[in-house]
Every structure is written in structure tokens, then in C-alpha cells.
Amino acid sequence: MDSFSRIAVMGLGYIGLPTAAVFAENGVEVIGIDIVPHVVETINAGRPHFGEPNLDALVRRVVEAGKLRATLEIEPADAFIVAVPTPLHGHGECATPDISYIENAARALAPALRPGNLVILESTSPVGTTERMAAILAEMRPDLSFPQQKGELAQIQVAHCPERVLPGSILEEVVNNPRVIGGMSRKCAQRALSLYKIVARGECRVTNARTAELAKLTENAYRDVNIAFANELSLICDKLRINIWDMLAMANLHPRVQILSPGPGVGGHCIAVDPWFIVATNPNEAKLIRTARLINDSKPDFVIAKVRERAAALKRPVIACLGLAYKKDVDDLRESPAVEIVRKLALEAVGELLVVEPYIGRLPPELDELGLALHDFDEALERANLVLLLVDHMSFLQVDRDVLKDKFVIDTRGAW
Ligand code: SAJ
């Protein structure tokens, strides 16, 4: 039975909500399940609870059409897509992956399972998590058979189909990106493939669940290692008094060299987190992956030292801190190096800080409690004698060069 007239998406965050909305747009009846009442209420009112280009209109459309409905309670469906967070416990080398949200989602959906159902894990997860999810389902439903017990003959199919969308371009990428479909058996993969075919325009490549898990982690670790290489080069260039951006532009002229950009550090909930999932399962082998994480995590301290050095040369330092988001043109502050830099500068009382972040209306609590306030871009530039560009938001790029003329400028993104 390959038809999916009703699917349930568990976890209505950055991945779950766009995924639910895109399936709903394609005619499937979608139930969105979340544990946060505010999230459920907001979506049922036709609004997303976070910013993402074009998501507002889509959510309004599918909710008004009765195709997407959010709820706190699990309901029966043909397929269940689990898209819950997989955070890290602790920081740096002591960090361990927390898969408890997946375990809880499995326990919550198990009572609703019926023969013929498909369960998909989309959350980025350490290798072995799909099998762990299937084990919980089997434990809770001894009346049903699962692929780890019955292989191709199982009544319930289980697969890992990792999300790969880029925040800021989610709606475009959720449809057009190639998909990795990792089944716990061949039948699981085929059934998951027929589900994603409803929405996916990109290639869907079938493999097993463990390969799919590591492939997803590898993609983000690859990017992290490449950025760490750029960040290490930025420290080398600083010592050698070479402009890193000019140097990289020259090196990248080579047809087989494509170095990414250095910055103030790596943020977000994916690239700064996922490589640790590989280190967690393979601490002895993952030497390069660990080192890359440590290099990227140390970059904020380098930026802070630069600001300290510059501020020391000023009688009364007034520092415009431009951007708090983890990257350009998003409102997401999770794991943002810019937030860490501004917080530490405030704690050190390096100078008066004028924080500018056009994408948010209120400062996060860790900055608010330090007595900082949000400022207007033009006002901050006008008043500051030191300008620290932390995020290359489009709106920061069109700056009048004359305004910067007599100020110290620290451009962590090479945007100016
Ligand atoms: N960054 C740099 N230099 C660069 C590129 C990025 O310093 O040259 C920084 C950004 O400023 C940001 C961080 O890295 O702080 C991560 O940003 P990103 O745009 O590289 O990636 P994410 O975290 O927004 O999304 C990534 C994507 N993964 C890959 O590109 C391999 C996305 O496709 C994944 O779906 C997403 O992680 C995820 O959910 O795992």
C-alpha cells in the first residue's frame, strides 16, 4: 500500500513546519504535532512561529485550506515524520548528543501505530539512532512486527531521511535538494521513497539507515572542516600581515580549490553541533573533525582580543556591534558567535556597546540582563568610534564609506 492520504509530522520547528506545510500544499492531509501549546496555537492561527522567507504565506494557505492542523496529541496516520531537536549536552569536547526528544517522540507515537505504517526519522542523529527509535517502537508495540525483527516482512517500515535544508532557503531546498533515503530494509526505503516523491523534485537516492545517518553528519562536518581551514588561515594571515580575503581570492582561482570564508566563528544549530555526533561515536578516529570544531569555537576569542586591542587605543571606546544572528539575513541567534562576542565584550566592559540587529525586536535575555540595548544602524554608525561587523546582513553592506572614514573598523566577514 503506497498511498499516503494522511501524515503526521512530529516537531513543528525549523524543519518540521516547512516539511508539514509542503506536504499539505501537495494535497496530503497533515497533522502537525508539537509539545509546546504556543507553537500549536500560532500555527492553527495560520502563522509560523519563526521567520523564514515565504513560510508565512504558505502556512496561512494550507491552514486556511484545512490541509494542515496542529495539535498536542498524537493521532493515527499513514506515515509519521519525526523532526525533533537533537541538541548537545555540555560544551566542546565534553559534549554528548541528546537523543531524548527522539526517544520521547517514539514513545508518544507508538500507541498510534497500525500495520502498514511508515515511521521516518528526519532529525540529524548520531549513527545508530534510527535503530534505537525502532527498538523503542518494538518494545512498546509487541503486537506489531518491525524491520529489525522481520526484515522485508515487517508490518511497520522505518527509515532515516535526513533533512538538508539551508535556513533562509528552506522552502526552495526542501523541494529541490537531492534526498538521501536510508531504509532499515529495502522495503522501508522504497516506501519512504514513495512518500518523498510526493514533494521532492530533486534526486532521491536510496541506501540503508546507518549510511544515511553518517552521510548527513559528514556533509556538515565537511563544511565545518573547510571553514576551520579558512579560520586557521585567517590567524596565519593576521600574524603575517596579509589580507586574508585577497589571499583566498587568489587561492580560489585554482580550478580545484574552493576554500570557504573565515568569520567570527561558526554558529547555528547544525554545523556547530553535528560534527560532535561523529566525535561521540568515534573519539579515537575523528581527530581532524574534533580539531576543526575546536578551531571554529576559538575564533570568537580571537575577535574579542582584536576589539580589546583596538579599544585600548581609544580614550572613550564606543563600539557599534553589527549583527547578532548566526549568519546573514536570518533572525536565528542559536549558537551564534556574534552573541558570544558581544556578551564577553560587555562582561569585560571594553567600552560602550551599541548593538544592532535588524532581524529581532528584543535582545536575548543573556544580553538584556547586561544592560545592553538594540540600536538603529545609522545612529550606531554615527556615534561609534569602533565598528565591529559580525554578520554580513544585506542591510549592512550598503554603508556610506565616508561614515566609516575616521573610525576603527573590524570586519570579521570581509564584507566591506
Ligand atoms: N560560515 C562561515 N564561513 C562560510 C560559510 C558559513 O563562517 O564560508 C558560518 C556561518 O556564518 C554560520 C555557520 O557557518 O555561522 C553555518 O552556516 P551555514 O550557512 O554554513 O549552514 P547552516 O548551519 O545554516 O545549514 C547547514 C547546511 N549544511 C551544509 O551546507 C552542508 C544545511 O544544508 C543543512 O541542512 C543544515 O546545516 C542542517 O540542518 O543540518
Residues 195 and 298 in one domain: no
Q: Is 277 in the pocket of ligand 1 (CB under 6 A)?
A: no
- pLDDT tens digits for 144-195? 999 999 999 999 999 999 999 999 999 999 999 999 999 999 999 999 999 9
Q: Is 32 in the pocket of ligand 1 (CB under 6 A)?
A: no
DSSP-based three-state secondary structure for 86: coil
Please list the helix, strand and coil fractions of the chain in percent, rounded to the nearest 5, in that order.
45, 15, 40
**pLDDT reported for residue 3:** 83
**Cβ-contact 38, 31 below 8 angstroms:** no
Q: Is 275 in the pocket of ligand 1 (CB under 6 A)?
A: no
- pLDDT tens digits for 332-353? 999 999 999 999 999 999 999 9
Q: Which atom of ligand 1 is nearest to the CA of 268?
A: 23
Name the residue of 220, 232, 391 to mutate for ligand 1: max ligand atoms within 8 A of Cβ: 220
- pLDDT tens digits for 225-243? 999 999 999 999 999 999 9
What's the CA gap between 397 and 329, in Å, rounded? 11
Q: Is 339 in the pocket of ligand 1 (CB under 6 A)?
A: no
396 lies in some domain? yes
DSSP-based three-state secondary structure for 310: helix
Residues 175 and 301 in one domain: no
H helix runs in 197-335, sequence order:
209-240, 244-251, 275-281, 287-312
Residues 301 and 184 in one domain: no
Phi, psi of 408 (to 5 degrees): -75, 135
What's the CA gap between 40 and 73, in Å, rounded? 10
- Choosing from 67, 204, 216, 327, the catalytic residue is 216
Residue 1 has pLDDT above 60, yes or no: no
Count: domains in the chain: 2
Please say which residue of 202, 230, 253 terminates a domain.
202
255 lies in some domain? no
Q: Which domain holds residue 401?
A: 261-411
Joined grid coordinates for residue 28: 496530503
What's the CA gap between 344 and 307, in Å, rounded? 11
Angle value at C-alpha 342, between 340 and 343, nearest 5 degrees = 65
What's the CA gap between 384 and 252, in Å, rounded? 35
Residues 176 and 287 in one domain: no
Residues 88 and 168 in one domain: yes
Residues 265 and 196 in one domain: no
Which residues are bridge partners to 96 per DSSP? Answer: 89
**pTM (two decimals):** 0.94
Q: Is 158 in the pocket of ligand 1 (CB under 6 A)?
A: no
Q: Which atom of ligand 1 is nearest to the CA of 263?
A: 7
Closest to 390 measured CA to CA, from 363, 408, 413, 416: 413
DSSP-based three-state secondary structure for 353: strand
Q: Is 390 in the pocket of ligand 1 (CB under 6 A)?
A: no
Residues 16 and 98 in one domain: yes
Mean pLDDT of 111-138: 98
CATH of the domain at 387: 3.40.50.720
Residues 271 and 197 in one domain: no
Phi, psi of 12 (to 5 degrees): -110, 50
256 lies in some domain? no
235 lies in some domain? no
What's the CA gap between 132 and 134, in Å, rounded? 5
**Cβ-contact 35, 82 below 8 angstroms:** no
Average pLDDT, the chain: 96
Residues 196 and 58 in one domain: yes
Closest to 367 measured CA to CA, from 389, 344, 386: 344
Residues 281 and 156 in one domain: no
Tell me how far CA of residue 85 lies from CA of 100, 114, 123, 183, 375, in angstroms: 9, 25, 7, 21, 32
Among this protein's residues, is 306 annotated catalytic? no
What's the CA gap between 110 and 246, in Å, rounded? 56
Residues 185 and 37 in one domain: yes
Report the separation in Å between the CA atom of 151 and the middle of ligand 1, taken as the mean of its atom positions.
36
Closest to 164 measured CA to CA, from 126, 196, 197, 123: 123
229 lies in some domain? no
Q: What band does 325 get if pLDDT is binned at 50, 70 and 90? A: very high
Phi, psi of 150 (to 5 degrees): -120, 5
Task: Give the residue, by CA position, lying nearest to ligand 1 atom 1.
Answer: 266
Closest to 350 measured CA to CA, from 387, 384, 380, 312: 312
241 lies in some domain? no
Please say which residue of 202, 236, 253 terminates a domain.
202
Report the separation in Å between the CA atom of 146 and the middle of ligand 1, taken as the mean of its atom positions.
35
Report the separation in Å between the CA atom of 332 and the middle of ligand 1, taken as the mean of its atom positions.
12
Residues 53 and 159 in one domain: yes
What's the CA gap between 355 and 319, in Å, rounded? 8
Among this protein's residues, is 94 annotated catalytic? no
244 lies in some domain? no
**pLDDT reported for residue 2:** 64
Torsion, CA 291, CA 295, CA 296, CA 299, rounded to 10: 170
Task: Give the residue, by CA position, lying nearest to ligand 1 atom 9.
Answer: 266
The DSSP symbol for 374 reads B
Q: Is 167 in the pocket of ligand 1 (CB under 6 A)?
A: yes
Q: Is 235 in the pocket of ligand 1 (CB under 6 A)?
A: no
Tell me how far CA of residue 404 lies from CA of 16, 28, 378, 400, in angstroms: 43, 53, 11, 7
- pLDDT tens digits for 239-270? 999 999 999 999 999 999 999 999 999 999 89
